[in-house]
Structures are given as structure tokens and as C-alpha cells.
Amino acid sequence: MNAPGKTQYLRVLTRSPTSLFSLVVLVLFALVAIFAPWLAPYGPFDIVYDSAHQVVRLSPPTAQHWLGTTNWGMDVLSQMIWGTRVALMVGLISALASALVGTFVGLVAGYFGGWVDEALMRVTDVAFAIPFLPFAMVVISMARPSLGLVIVLIVAFLWRVTARVIRAQVLSLRTRTFVRAAWVSGASPTRIISRHILPNVLPLSFLYVAVGVQSGVMLEAALSFLGFGDPNQQSWGYILNASFKAGAMRSAWWWVLPPSVALALFVICVFMVTRAYEEVLNPRLRLE
């Protein structure tokens, strides 16, 4: 199994207008997250005032506040921009960490087999049996809510799928001729795994990094919407939670619609780009 080349991936990606559009949107999300301090008119929790020094509460979109304000007089556009940074940070960190853990577990379990495989897969089974939201809410309720804790909980939830898939791939690879030849020549397990098996499973790991970004953003938004996110961080889920608690889900559409659209657009775009990557890994998925 050869790793897909960059030109091959770009060719598949640009051939589909939907995938290309999705990539452009994701790049825009990334740019907004990187330059949030310069793009946001206000801080994530700043209260805005009018010329009479009155708090601008529940104002619909205007020239001064493009996405209106909240019941506390906070600028929704600024909250959305800062929320983009939090969403992408949680998504990227949790996806990379979960892919790293899952790939390591899958490599070790698949290559060594025996009791090592049995022990690691039973741990994976236990991880599969734990429902994320109830478990995360209990842990956060017992600890101090923080963005770091949310990321750790998401990683503990996401690694299990990667581990299963990588293990299955390693079980197939370890019977290949080039792996057996390396073993006969006296190569150590560490060298065989790092030089011969790992390069062949990395494309799958990268795929689950992309999937993990999508899942991480959605899980953080779900926890924040339920009131278990970091209260010191402005995220899309936190914006929806605040609008729900204020009873503005129907009356203040400008407060509810932007984070909802951002979440849906981000998830859809990640899915479309991930599908293009899957077409590179599996040519049978490509349209003729």
C-alpha cells in the first residue's frame, strides 16, 4: 500500500467543485481563527455601549454590529470570530492526539498479537462501551471545567476507532513478504514497525485526523451547549447555550443562526474534503 502523493490528492480534490469549495471554506475558517485578535471588533466577553453609554442589548444586525448583539450587549460577530479559534484549536489538538494514541495502540496490538493484542483490544472494548456525553458530564461536574479537560475527554473518546482500523491494517501487513524478509534479516520489532509498517498505515491515520477534527468540534459544541464547556472560552456551543438560557432561540435569530450555520458548514466541508482523501486511498470510490 503506497502513500498517496500530494499531486494525486490535489487532482482528486480539485476535480470536484464541491470538494474544492469545501477546502476554500476550511482555509477561511483557519484564517479567521489565526487572525481572530485582529479581525474581532471586540473581545470575546466585551459589552458594547451606544453613544448615550447605554448597553446595546439584543440589537438586530446593524452597520455597527453586523450580527447584532446578545442580551448582555456582547457583539455576536466578535463572539463568532473568537469561537472559530476555540473550535479549530479543540478540533486539531483532539484529532492529532487521538490519531497518535489510536495509531500507537493499533500498531502494537496488530504487530505483537497474543496477550498484548488481547489486553489492548479489551481496553478498546471498554472505551467503546462508555457513552461520551454522560461520562464527560460526570467528569466535568466533579472537576473544574476547562478547555484542556474537554480536549482530554474527546481524545479518550476518539482514539478507539483509529486503533481498531489501524490494528486490522497491521494484521494484514505483518504477513506481507517485505515484513517477513525484514524479520528474517534480524530487524528488531521497533525497526520493522517504524520503517516498514508505519509508513503504510499513515494514510489511514491522516484520514482519521480529518475525521477527528470534525468530531472534536461537534463534541465540544455539544458539551458547551449543555453547559459543560469552559466558561472562560467563547465557543460556538457556548453561544448557543447562552441564547438558549436567555430564551432567545426564537426571538433573536441573529444570535442563534450564525453559530448553527458555522457548525453545519464546518462539518459538511470537513466531510467533503475527507471524502476526496478517501478516493485517493481507495480508487474504486472515484467517479469515472
Q: What is the DSSP string of 116-145?
A: HHHHHHHHHHHHHHS-HHHHHHHHHHHS--
pTM: predicted TM-score of the whole model, two decimal places: 0.88
Where exactly are the structural domains of the chain?
6-285
Spatial separation of the C-alpha atoms in residues 74 and 235, rounded to whole Å = 14
Closest CA to 83 of 231, 207, 239: 239
| CA distances to 22, 122, 267 from 26, in Å | 6, 37, 10
152, 90 contact by CB (below 8 A): no
What is the per-residue pLDDT for 1? 44
Q: CA-to-CA distance for 3 and 25, rounded, in angstroms?
A: 26
- pLDDT tens digit at each of 288 positions of the chain: 444 555 666 666 677 788 889 989 999 999 999 999 999 999 999 999 998 889 999 999 999 999 999 999 999 999 999 999 999 999 999 999 999 999 999 999 999 999 999 999 999 999 999 999 999 999 999 998 899 999 999 999 999 999 999 999 999 998 888 888 988 888 899 999 999 899 889 888 988 998 899 999 999 999 999 999 999 999 999 999 999 999 988 889 999 999 999 999 999 999 888 887 777 666 555 554
Cross-strand bridge partners of residue 49: 55
Give the pLDDT of residue 83. 96
Q: Which amino acid is at 223?
A: L
Amino acid at 163: A
pLDDT at residue number 273: 86
The CATH number corresponding to 6-285 among 3.60.10.10, 1.10.3720.10, 3.40.109.10, 1.20.1560.10 equals: 1.10.3720.10
pLDDT at residue 203, rounded to an integer: 85
Q: Is 43 exposed, middle or buried (0-12, 13-18, 19+ CB in 10 A)?
A: middle
